[in-house]
Chain A
Amino acid sequence: MKPKLAVFKFASCDGCQLSLLDAEDHLLAVAGALDIAFFPEATSRMRAGPYDVALVEGSITTAHDAERIRAVRRDAKCLITIGACATAGGIQSLKNWADHTDFIRAVYATPEYIATLATSTPIADHVHVDFELRGCPINQYQLIEVIQSLLAGRRPRTPSHSVCIDCKRRGTVCVLVARGEPCLGPVTQAGCGAICPAYDRGCYACFGPAAQANLAGLTARLASDGMRPGRIAQSLRTFNGYAPAFREESDRLADGRDRVDEVRR
């Protein structure tokens, strides 16, 4: 029998689910090998669990979602989180450093209708996760690899090395060393194919911290290039800002000024 797959969305932009849909021809093969039982983004047919595999996009930002993810976990033999929101809390985790009620008041006409948690947290903070696929958005080839490996019953092969290795493999000259462009590549996990430096920009750390990343080592370098600590902290607090390695270093640099608006100054 084909493994039963479900795709769930929590607080997110849907971009990672779209990566799966983007993998058109691959997707047909995937659809042939899997029984897609629940995927609201792609099909209106929805069948109840239990599922063999649940792909989960998005972070937990409401009490309702915190309940819902537990139900997903109960229904899934294997739970895989996809994307920076699900694996690190996403860009919306910036509110973890701020007073979310300020944001609600600033954005919504009738704030009292909004029920939300004070934090945006990764799925693994709430339930056991079998495998985390990083990226903002995820890389569709990595997603295919994850699905193929599930079908083959092996562990997915995704790299844990730095973006620098991928830059060098494609012949990109280091933007940090050759131009002093701030770049988070040395502490960031590869996965995107080192796109930004190939287009003359520093890496934004879309795939989160590399294994055993030496954040203090890199931020010392950025500081020596004249970047102020608050600015460095801000550069770490993006899509994966709440990932422990980035969070701890940005907190250290912000040194008490941990409200986002203060860091920004």
Chain B
Amino acid sequence: MNGHSGADAGQRFLHKDRFPCLLEQLEAMGYSVIGPTLDQHAIVYDRIRSVDDLPRGWTDEQQPGSYRVRRRTDDAWFGYVVGPHSWKGYLFPTPVVIARAAREGGDWEFKEADDAPPKFAFLGVRACEIAAIRVQDRVFLAESYVDPIYEGRRTRALIVAVNCEQAASTCFCPSMGTGPRCTSGFDLALTELSDGFVVEVGTAEGAALLATLDSSEASISQLRAAQAARRSASEQIERSLDTRGLRDLLMDNLEHPRWDETASRCLSCANCTMVCPTCFCGSVEEVSDLAGGRVERRRRWDSCFNIDFSYMNGGHVRDSIRSRYRQWLTHKLASWNDQFGTSGCVGCGRCITWCPSGIDLTEEVLAIRGDAPVSEGSS
């Protein structure tokens, strides 16, 4: 889709005065609405009960290693980019009970967790985030073994996307082919104007939801304004990542001196992996009552930056920050393609912003590309 009038046909306009009905309708349909809200000096994802919970009039400024919320000069409701949270916090929650064991009559009995999965409506999903959900769909749902926790939440979730109208200095979604415009993967997609939203329908569920709301056909001027707003996001994106031959570039340079240089700055703190919307690593912890007869198996987010992550038989496979950073970057940008036929990176820039040292993966690739032999035609 490219925003021509043909694709715009059938788009509706929802006035901001009518927006509370969307939230009410979602609640009535049994959804917990999760969306952006101002908390802890950031725009995070949390339960949204009214439009007053939205970060109206706030924006974010992002640089490598720095994030600040600022007052906007206008009253935009979705006038920010992406924050420290991502939707994986809801689809791939931490901690979560995956199984239980109980000793009954002397024997151990085992049960998979069968707790009823919550039904979420995600409000304010960005294009890069839709791409991230798609990447995790590939990881958790598309192989022979399916993650039941993710599956239960994902199949019930409704996605109300909101197009970006601005970009952070850390954004590079066009390089990854994931944004900034939401083109698919949503039930509804909104573009915010000063007085309302231009609404695009992505699924039958989205259409049914929209039908319950008091919307009107979007006018030409509203469609034009929406286009212009979306264009301004594209125009603000400065950062880029050259993905040509990237897989081979990294896998052919596993002993590049750059890894040592980066290791001197990397804290191995795991922030990049925790904020990354596609990172999916986890560890299971045994939680038993004192008698030891009842055990819960709790899965938590884990990270390849955790030294114990590769622990085996009294030793660590990746026993240095260099080897752990190399594991993360080569996985994200290279071996992920081997595993899942897609990059693990969606260009959201979170790992750049939330790295305390401000390590920028696009710069890392550039450095390795800089004096690496060019492998043309290997992409």
Please tell me whether chains A and B touch each other in their complex, using a CB distance cut-off of 8 A: yes
Chain A residues in the interface with B (C-beta under 8 A): 26, 29, 148, 157, 159-162, 164-165, 168-169, 171-174, 176-180, 185-187, 200, 210-214, 216-218, 220-221
Q: Which residues of chain B in 9-51 are interfacial with respect to chain A, using CB atoms and an 8 Å cutoff?
A: 39-42, 44
A169 to B301, Cβ gap below 8 A?
A: yes
Contacts of A161 in B (CB 8 A): 270, 303, 305-308
Contacts of A214 in B (CB 8 A): 263-268, 321
B269 to A185, Cβ gap below 8 A?
A: yes
B42 to A173, Cβ gap below 8 A?
A: yes
Interface check B125, CB cutoff 8 A: no
Interface check B206, CB cutoff 8 A: no
Closest to A211 in B: B307
Which of B268, B353, B358: most chain A Cβ within 10 A?
B268
Given contacts A169-B300, A186-B356, A217-B357, contact A174 B271 (CB under 8 A): yes
Interface check B94, CB cutoff 8 A: yes
Closest to B316 in A: A211
CA distance A87 to B28 in the complex (A): 56
Chain B residues in the interface with A (C-beta under 8 A): 39-42, 44, 65-69, 83-85, 89, 94-95, 263-271, 274-275, 285, 290-291, 300-303, 305-308, 320-321, 353-358
Which of B95, B263, B269, B302: most chain A Cβ within 10 A?
B269
CA distance A148 to B288 in the complex (A): 10
24 contacts between A and B (CB under 8 A): A160-B306, A162-B269, A162-B270, A164-B269, A168-B275, A169-B94, A169-B95, A169-B301, A171-B85, A173-B39, A174-B84, A174-B356, A177-B66, A177-B355, A178-B40, A178-B42, A212-B268, A213-B268, A214-B321, A216-B264, A217-B264, A217-B357, A218-B267, A221-B65
B274 to A165, Cβ gap below 8 A?
A: yes
CA distance A219 to B66 in the complex (A): 16
CA distance A179 to B356 in the complex (A): 12
B44 to A173, Cβ gap below 8 A?
A: yes
Query: Out of B69, B94, B266, B320, which one reaches A217, CB within 8 Å?
Result: B266
Contacts of B354 in A (CB 8 A): 174, 177
CA distance A186 to B83 in the complex (A): 19
A187 to B307, Cβ gap below 8 A?
A: no
Contacts of B67 in A (CB 8 A): 174, 177-178
Closest to A169 in B: B94
A160 to B307, Cβ gap below 8 A?
A: yes
Q: How many cross-chain pairs have Cβ atoms below 8 Å apart between A and B?
A: 119
CA distance A185 to B270 in the complex (A): 11
Given contacts A176-B356, A217-B357, A221-B356, contact A160 B308 (CB under 8 A): yes
Which of A26, A173, A200: most chain B Cβ within 10 A?
A173
Quote the shortest CB–CB distance from B354 to chain A (angstroms): 5
Query: Out of A160, A171, A176, A211, which one reaches B44, CB within 8 Å?
Result: A171
Quote the shortest CB–CB distance from B307 to chain A (angstroms): 4
A217 to B265, Cβ gap below 8 A?
A: yes
Given contacts A160-B308, A164-B274, A220-B357, contact A173 B40 (CB under 8 A): yes
Query: Out of B68, B94, B305, which one reaches A178, CB within 8 Å?
Result: B68
Query: Out of B39, B68, B271, B308, which one reaches A159, CB within 8 Å?
Result: B308
Besides A164-B271, A168-B271, A212-B320, 18 new A-B residue pairs in contact (Cβ under 8 A), listed by A number: A148-B290, A161-B270, A162-B270, A164-B269, A165-B303, A169-B94, A173-B39, A177-B67, A178-B67, A178-B69, A180-B66, A200-B40, A213-B267, A214-B265, A214-B268, A218-B356, A221-B357, A221-B358
B307 to A177, Cβ gap below 8 A?
A: no
Closest to A152 in B: B292
Closest to B307 in A: A211
B306 to A187, Cβ gap below 8 A?
A: no
Which of A157, A171, A211, A213: most chain B Cβ within 10 A?
A171
CA distance A162 to B42 in the complex (A): 22
Query: Out of B65, B95, B266, B291, which one reaches A177, CB within 8 Å?
Result: B65
CA distance A160 to B83 in the complex (A): 27
Quote the shortest CB–CB distance from A131 to chain B (angstroms): 15
CA distance A200 to B263 in the complex (A): 29
CA distance A123 to B285 in the complex (A): 30
Contacts of B95 in A (CB 8 A): 169
Closest to A179 in B: B41
Contacts of B320 in A (CB 8 A): 212
CA distance A200 to B42 in the complex (A): 12
Contacts of A218 in B (CB 8 A): 267, 356-357
CA distance A236 to B11 in the complex (A): 58
A173 to B84, Cβ gap below 8 A?
A: yes
Contacts of A148 in B (CB 8 A): 290
CA distance A218 to B83 in the complex (A): 22
Contacts of A165 in B (CB 8 A): 269-270, 274, 301-303, 306
Contacts of B263 in A (CB 8 A): 214
CA distance A218 to B357 in the complex (A): 7
CA distance A187 to B307 in the complex (A): 13
CA distance A26 to B291 in the complex (A): 10
Which of B44, B267, B268, B274: most chain A Cβ within 10 A?
B267
Closest to B311 in A: A160
CA distance A220 to B94 in the complex (A): 31
Closest to B286 in A: A157
Closest to B285 in A: A157
